């Protein structure tokens, strides 16, 4: 089974703290993604990466950064957490494609609360 | 206007009923259509994947795509309490980013 593992399931942080969310996949997938999920808004893409050390902005990158030093690991960083970043964060990966759909495999999610 | 529209529900049905879910979209370039199921406090998991128009069946699940109407559907036959979850539609063009609907919460009552 493809596995995408998010190390922290639940986090509580204070405003202004630096937050690291870690994601590891074990299927040698080229592409990795970070989404946030909020009620009524669905999944919104924050950042994605199609190769080691490569990153691309998604639809809502403001206030976030990412790091991909190894193929299997993709980290999301909140430099200075704010209350409006309270959300469920989902990491996903997908195999590379030549045309065709980008079928994602998701991790279990990290629920972040910023007080 | 969102590219993908999906009624958030909740949709409550008795056990054994047919569940009917749908999404509409505006981008005529979409060719790949997916349904994900998400249980409470879990990540989404791929349920069905369809390319272009037509029907696809997998056990109790049927996915339909009508590109002319920009409308996709998911039907769950003989629904079970274990089908209670949020169902997300997702779609993309070739090479494009996956666009998600907001998800429909389904509750199947025994």
What is the spatial distance between Cα A24 and Cα A47, in angstroms, rounded to a whole number?
15
Instruction: Give which of B32, B47, B98 to mutate to test A binding, by max A Cβ within 10 Å.
Output: B98
**Least confident segment among A23-27, B1-5, B58-62, B88-92:** B1-5
A31 close to B92: Cβ distance less than 8 angstroms: no
pLDDT at A34: 97
Query: What is the number of other CB atoms lying within 10 angstroms of the CB of residue B96?
Result: 15
Nearest CA in chain A to B88: A42
Taking contacts as CB-CB distances below 8 angstroms, the residues of chain A near B97 are 45, 48, 58, 102
Taking contacts as CB-CB distances below 8 angstroms, the residues of chain A near B46 are 103-105
What is the spatial distance between Cα B55 and Cα B74, in angstroms, rounded to a whole number?
10
Looking at the predicted structure, is the pLDDT value of residue B46 above 70? Answer: yes
Which value, in Å, is the radius of gyration of the alpha carbons in chain A?
13
pLDDT at B10: 92
- pLDDT tens digits for range A57-72: 999 999 999 999 999 9
Looking at the predicted structure, is the pLDDT value of residue B53 above 90? Answer: no
Which value, in Å, is the radius of gyration of the alpha carbons in chain B?
13
A108 close to A98: Cβ distance less than 8 angstroms: no
Looking at the predicted structure, is the pLDDT value of residue B109 above 90? Answer: yes
Instruction: Give which of A7, A35, A39, A42 to mutate to test B binding, by max B Cβ within 10 Å.
Output: A42
Instruction: Name the nearest CA neighbour of B17 among B60, B79, B70.
Output: B79
Q: Work out the angle at residue B42's Cα, subtended by the Cα atoms of residues A5 and A50, and round it to the nearest 5 degrees.
A: 45
Looking at the predicted structure, is the pLDDT value of residue A97 above 70? Answer: no
B85 close to B106: Cβ distance less than 8 angstroms: yes
Nearest CB to A109 within list B36, B43, B88: B43
Question: Which two structure tokens, joined as six digits, stand for A96?
Answer: 């590379």
- Reported as a pLDDT band with limits 50, 70 and 90, residue A98 is low
pLDDT at A1: 67
Looking at the predicted structure, is the pLDDT value of residue A101 above 80? Answer: no
Can you spell out the DSSP letters for B39-87? Answer: -TTS--EEEEEEESSEEEEETTEEEEEETTTTEEEEEESS--GGG-EEE
pLDDT at A96: 64
Mean pLDDT for chain B? 93
- pLDDT tens digits for range B69-78: 999 999 999 9
Q: pLDDT: is B55 or B2 the higher one?
A: B55
Nearest CB to A106 within list B6, B31, B45: B45
- pLDDT tens digits for range A14-29: 999 999 999 999 988 8
- Reported as a pLDDT band with limits 50, 70 and 90, residue A100 is low
pLDDT over 70, % of chain B: 98
Name the strand (E) or helix (H) holding B19. strand B19-25
Place of tokens 């030093």: A69
Strand A10-13 with A110-114, pairing: parallel
Instruction: Name the nearest CA neighbour of B100 among B20, B38, B52, B12.
Output: B38
pLDDT at A87: 97
User: Does the distance separating the beta carbons of A107 and B45 come in below 8 Å?
Assistant: no
pLDDT at B83: 97
């Amino acid at each position: 089974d493809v596995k995408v593992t998010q190390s922290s399931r639940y986090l509580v942080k204070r405003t202004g703290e630096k937050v690291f969310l870690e994601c590891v996949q074990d299927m040698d997938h080229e592409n990795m993604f970070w989404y946030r999920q909020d009620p009524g808004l669905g999944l919104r893409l924050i950042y994605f990466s199609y190769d080691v050390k490569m990153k691309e902005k998604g639809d809502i990158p403001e206030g976030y950064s990412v790091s991909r030093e190894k193929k299997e690991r993709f980290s999301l960083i909140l430099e200075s957490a704010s209350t409006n970043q309270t959300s469920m964060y989902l990491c996903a990966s997908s195999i590379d494609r030549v045309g065709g759909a980008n079928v994602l495999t998701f991790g279990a999610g990290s629920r972040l609360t910023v007080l | 206007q969102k590219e993908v529209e999906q009624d958030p529900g909740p949709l409550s049905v008795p056990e054994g009923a047919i569940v009917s879910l749908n999404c509409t979209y505006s981008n005529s370039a979409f060719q790949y259509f997916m349904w994900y199921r998400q249980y409470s406090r879990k990540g989404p998991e791929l349920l069905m994947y369809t390319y272009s128009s037509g029907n696809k069946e997998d056990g109790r699940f049927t996915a339909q795509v009508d590109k002319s109407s920009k409308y996709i559907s998911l039907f769950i036959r003989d629904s079970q309490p274990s089908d209670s979850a949020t169902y997300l539609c997702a779609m993309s063009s070739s090479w494009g980013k996956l666009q998600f609907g907001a998800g429909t919460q389904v509750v199947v009552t025994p």
